[in-house]
């Protein structure tokens, strides 16, 4: 009797969550597919996808989503790596700096967009500062469609500022599970800091690095509010188009087509994620 309750107990403890997640995550994913691929009569159709692709913003949305990803993810990882390695040296006062670097964890993409709006807008802090330093005669329009590269850069800066904290915490957690012996061994063989970082720390940190890379890649597909706050509709992105089609045009089917496209990219990234992760943890030899 005792054995029986034991074997059922973990399942019954997990059941509420599993049911909840099935109803609110698994089922909606299938419904998104149905919305995207079905007509009102329930027949299979590609019309919605054709309409989505024919939409004037589609090509730009696809282009900018991937461009953002290509720039944002490496920027975040490099910056976060510097922060994490710095904190990991455990210099005097490192916890103080860690808490400062971690603060943006609390900030939503919408709020981050607004923060950088105050800096990059026409009469914002950046223009004011450059003017007062005598570097500018009149405000530069960072956020105008006429200066697309500048506008695009503001998005990268805002997203790097916000999401670097998440990557840093992931990398720092990874650094902490690397046994201290590895560092000491490198010291014994006379490696300097740079060599030790490149040849000892980075290879051992690979699982965490890949983790961070893929998590950020997946979420970079969802970049949305930060773009809306800084660029309005000048720079369209896939998730933003899903929002526009649903909230402004009241067309759930085309919105679902955009969502489905994002989902497909997410699944591809996830599969790549697990492939890479499996080989890398085996190689690292601990975990």
Partner 1 sequence: MPSSRFILNRIFLYAVAIALAVWTLAPLYLIALAAFSTKEAVFQWPKLFLPTAFSTETMAFFVGSTGVLDSVKNSIIVALVTVVASLILGAPGGYALARFRFRGKDAIQLGFLISKMFPTAILSVPLAIAFLQMDLYDTLWGVALMHTAMALPFVIIVTAGIFVGVPRDLEEAAQTLGCNRLQAFWRVVMPLTIPGLAAAAIFTFVLSWNEVFAATILTLRNRTLPAQVLSGLSGSPLYYRYAGGFFMILPAVVFIFAIRKYLLNMWGNIVR
Among 53, 59, 70, 105, contact with partner 1 (rule: CB under 8 A): 105
208 in Cβ contact with 172 (< 8 Å): no
Number of residues that bind partner 1 (CB under 8 A): 99
The answer to whether residues 230 and 154 touch, using CB atoms and an 8 Å cutoff, is yes
Q: How far is the CB of 54 from partner 1 (least distance, A)?
A: 20
Binder of partner 1 out of 222, 276, 280, 284 (CB under 8 A): 222
Q: Which is nearer to partner 1, 59 or 177 (CB)?
A: 177
Angstrom CA distances, 236 to 56, 64, 115, 129, 185, stand at: 10, 7, 20, 30, 51
Q: Does 135 bind partner 1 (CB under 8 A)?
A: no
Among 70, 121, 128, smallest CA distance to 232 is for 121
Residue 90, class by beta-carbon neighbours within 10 Å (0-12 exposed, 13-18 middle, 19+ buried)?
Answer: exposed
Residues 14-33 that bind partner 1 (CB under 8 A): 14, 16-18, 20-21, 24-29, 31-32
Say whether residue 145 binds partner 1 (CB under 8 A): no
Mark 148-167 with x for binding to partner 1 (rule: CB under 8 A) and - for no binding. -------------x---xx-
Binding-site member from 7, 43, 149, 181 for partner 1 (CB under 8 A): 7
Shortest CB 127 distance to partner 1, Å: 7
**C-alpha 33: how far from its chain's center?**
24
| 120 CB-side CA count, 13 A | 23
Among 11, 40, 44, 137, binds partner 1 (CB under 8 A): 11
The CA distance from 256 to 31, in Å, is 9
Q: In this chain, which of 48, 57, 127, 244 binds partner 1, going by CB under 8 A?
A: 127
The one segment of 51-59, 60-68, 144-152, 171-179 that binds partner 1 by CB under 8 A:
171-179
Q: Is 179 in the site for partner 1 (CB under 8 A)?
A: no
Among 54, 106, 188, 194, interactor with partner 1 by CB under 8 A: 106
Token digits of residue 103: 């603060």
Tokens of 99: 């808490």
Locus of tokens 């188009």: 241
C-beta closer to partner 1: residue 56 or 192: 192
- Applying the rule CB under 8 A, the residues between 36 and 65 that interact with partner 1 are none
Subset of 249-278 contacting partner 1 (CB under 8 A): 252, 255-256, 259-260, 262-263, 266, 270
Taking the least distance from each CB to partner 1, the nearer of 32 and 77 is 32
SS3 232: coil
The distance of closest approach from Cβ of residue 177 to partner 1 in the complex, given in angstroms and rounded to an integer, is: 8
CA angle 246, 251, 253 (to 5 degrees): 100
**Residue spans of beta strands (DSSP E) within the chain:** none
Choose, by CB under 8 A, the member of 69, 75, 143, 169 that binds partner 1: 169
Q: How would you classify residue 192: left for phi > 0, otherwise alpha for psi between -120 and 50, otherwise beta?
A: beta
When binding is defined by CB under 8 A, the residue of 243, 276, 280, 284 that contacts partner 1 is: 243
228, 240 contact by CB (below 8 A): yes
């Amino acid at each position: 009797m005792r054995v029986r309750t034991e074997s059922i107990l973990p399942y019954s403890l997990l059941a509420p969550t599993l049911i909840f997640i099935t109803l609110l995550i698994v089922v909606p994913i299938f419904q998104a597919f149905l919305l995207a691929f079905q007509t009102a009569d329930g027949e299979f159709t590609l019309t919605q996808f054709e309409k989505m692709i024919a939409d004037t913003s589609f090509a730009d949305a696809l282009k900018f989503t991937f461009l953002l990803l290509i720039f944002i993810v490496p920027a975040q990882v490099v910056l976060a790596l510097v922060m994490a390695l710095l904190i990991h040296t455990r210099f005097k006062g490192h916890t103080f700096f860690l808490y400062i670097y971690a603060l943006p964890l609390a900030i939503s993409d919408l709020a981050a967009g607004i923060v950088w709006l105050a800096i990059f807008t026409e009469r914002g802090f950046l223009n004011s500062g450059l003017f007062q330093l005598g570097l500018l005669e009149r405000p530069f329009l960072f956020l105008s469609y006429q200066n697309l590269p500048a506008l695009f850069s503001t998005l990268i800066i805002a997203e790097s500022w916000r999401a670097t904290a998440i990557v840093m915490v992931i990398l720092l957690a990874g650094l902490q599970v690397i046994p201290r012996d590895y560092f000491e061994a490198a010291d014994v063989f006379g490696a300097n800091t740079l060599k030790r970082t490149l040849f000892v720390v980075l290879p051992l940190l690979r699982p965490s690095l890949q983790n961070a890379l893929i998590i950020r890649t997946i979420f970079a597909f969802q970049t949305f509010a930060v773009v809306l706050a800084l660029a309005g509709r000048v720079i369209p992105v896939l998730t933003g188009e899903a929002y526009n089609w649903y909230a402004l045009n009241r067309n759930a089917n085309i919105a679902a087509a955009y969502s489905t496209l994002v989902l497909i990219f997410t699944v591809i990234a996830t599969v790549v994620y697990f492939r890479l992760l499996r080989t890398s943890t085996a190689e690292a030899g601990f975990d």
